[in-house]
Amino acid sequence: MHETHADDDSEASVEVPGLGAPPSASPIQLLPQDVLHNVLGRLTLCEVLACRPVCRTFRDALSSSPFLASLSPLRLLALRHPRAAASPHPSLHALDPSFRRWIRLPLSFLPFPSFSPVTASPSLLYLWVDAAPSSSASAVATFAKNHTKSLAVCNPLTGFHRLLPPLGSAWSRHGTVLAGPDGAVLVVTELATLSYAPGPDRWLKFPLSLPSKPRSPILMADSVFALCDVGTPWRSQWKLFSCRLGDLGGVRGWAPLEQQEWGNVFDIFKRPRLLAGAGGSRLLLIGGLRSSFAVDAPCSTVLILRLDLATMEWDDAGRMPPEMYRCFGASGPSVAAAGGNNKVKVFGGDGKVWFSGKRVKGKLAMWEEEEEVGKSGGGLWSWVEGIPGYPEAMYRGFVFDAGFTATP
């Protein structure tokens, strides 16, 4: 290499950054913002937020909305905390399953005297709230005088929230709240489905054309799925129904999902529940595995079957290990007794299933779906310890992808 000194460098070399930066700026502070985004965008959402206090250059770059919206969300299991609002620092208790740590997302920005988180869609958390009249004169306050309980939506990371329009009747509060894409919300009750879309900003009511009360309804890939008992008062017989969101008020409406080849697949379950599998195209059916077809047969473990909606084929996705199942059982060594109890709550979604029980205090059993279909009895079973809050409580929860991809 030869060092020729630039004599009269008239060619305009492009002079760039560093102009506005402090004299002692570090090379990282001299990078153009898009380059800094390219670097820091490779961190997780949590790491990005943790880098905000480094300096103003970082804080500004890491507060840009398009940048934040481009980050992968933080997958959490949110607990339906019975007394979420009662604490002096109201928060959402959630498990970060990838690190197995419990975190608390502050909800103190919510102006409601009490609230209870029920469900979520990406970035958005839905809660039942007591919208007691506040001093701020608004439509919200006026409405709240008549109806004290309402649905609200918020993004716990941005601190924005919004009340949804009143539901109308009191019994709707006992329905299951399902959150769909683009701010759509469903409340599924025994008699009707109430459907909300942010566009028209109102609830539409559709009668349920189902043979019985829908059990364990879930929303997955633009369709609602639910189980119905079509059996006798003496013996349950479960059937799977589904309805596309767009067909709720339509002629097609709810239709059974069934195949001749399935046989009596539902009969092997005691108290089955539905959850969404990973990837949005598979259903999970979870319940106690009956040891025989006798009406009062005890369960031998928890079985998870998986239905591939593309092929309409079931496969055996997982079975709770016996030693784990025993922990959920009644007192004494009798395994049989465990099957009879209904004190196990099953919740989750997107390929993860959690189990809480009266007898497993302060911890949850977790099952994680394995991507490979057809691998029988697969999936990972483990315990998640250290539930925050009230160890004697029976928790339920839902999957919440915390992020900046949507605002209320």
301 interacts with another protein by CB under 8 A: no
Reported for 145-149, long-range contacts at CB under 8 A and 24+ positions apart, including other chains, are 149/173
Q: Cα angle at 188 between 364 and 159, to 5 degrees? A: 65
Give the residue, chosen from 2, 19, 137, 296, that forms a contact with another protein under the rule CB under 8 A.
Answer: 2
CB of 156 to another protein, least distance (A): 9
- Contact yes or no for 226/210 (Cβ under 8 A): yes
Instruction: Name residue 243's beta-bridge partners.
Output: 224
39 interacts with another protein by CB under 8 A: yes
CB nearer to another protein: give 42 or 361. 42
- Contact yes or no for 164/186 (Cβ under 8 A): no
Binding segment toward another protein, per CB under 8 A, in 14-22, 180-188, 303-311, 333-341: 14-22
Give the residue, chosen from 29, 119, 172, 300, that forms a contact with another protein under the rule CB under 8 A.
Answer: 29
Q: Cα angle at 150 between 147 and 152, to 5 degrees? A: 150
Element (H, E) at 197: strand 192-197
Length of the chain measured in residues: 408
Amino acid at 134: S
CB of 34 to another protein, least distance (A): 8
CB nearer to another protein: give 53 or 322. 53
CB nearer to another protein: give 74 or 324. 74
CB of 32 to another protein, least distance (A): 7
Pairing label, strands 114-121, 238-244? unpaired
CB of 216 to another protein, least distance (A): 30
9 interacts with another protein by CB under 8 A: yes
11 interacts with another protein by CB under 8 A: yes
Angstrom distance (rounded) from CA 117 to CA 125:
7
Structure tokens at 391: 């160890």
CB of 109 to another protein, least distance (A): 10
Binding segment toward another protein, per CB under 8 A, in 22-30, 215-223, 372-380, 390-398: 22-30
42 interacts with another protein by CB under 8 A: yes
Give the residue, chosen from 8, 19, 23, 27, that forms a contact with another protein under the rule CB under 8 A.
Answer: 27
CB of 27 to another protein, least distance (A): 4
Q: In what order do the strands lie in the sheet with 91-96?
A: 101-106, 91-96, 74-79, 397-402
Strand ranges (E), 294-396: 299-308, 313-319, 344-349, 352-357, 364-368, 380-384
Q: In what order do the strands lie in the sheet with 160-163?
A: 114-121, 124-130, 149-155, 160-163
22 interacts with another protein by CB under 8 A: yes
Binding segment toward another protein, per CB under 8 A, in 42-50, 220-228, 244-252, 369-377: 42-50
Site string for another protein, 143-172 (x = CB under 8 A): --------------x-x-------------
CB of 369 to another protein, least distance (A): 26
Site string for another protein, 169-198 (x = CB under 8 A): ------------------------------
Angstrom distance (rounded) from CA 402 to CA 382:
23
| Per-position DSSP letters for 79-120, written without gaps between them | E--TTTTTSSS-EEEEEETTTTEEEEEE-TT---SEEEEEEE
Question: What are phi and psi for residue 164, nearest 5 degrees?
Answer: -85, 160
Structure tokens at 260: 């001749």
* Residues of span 52-111 touching another protein by CB under 8 A: 52-59, 101, 103-106
CB of 177 to another protein, least distance (A): 24
Give the residue, chosen from 8, 20, 23, 46, that forms a contact with another protein under the rule CB under 8 A.
Answer: 46
CB of 103 to another protein, least distance (A): 4
CB of 378 to another protein, least distance (A): 30
CB nearer to another protein: give 31 or 317. 31
Give the residue, chosen from 31, 228, 243, 248, that forms a contact with another protein under the rule CB under 8 A.
Answer: 31
Nearest-10 Cα torsion for 127, 160, 124, 65:
-170
Q: Look up residue 389 and give its DSSP letter.
A: S
Which residues would be at the binding site for another protein (CB under 8 A)? 1-6, 9, 11-18, 22, 24, 26-32, 34-35, 38-40, 42-43, 46-47, 49-59, 101, 103-106, 157, 159
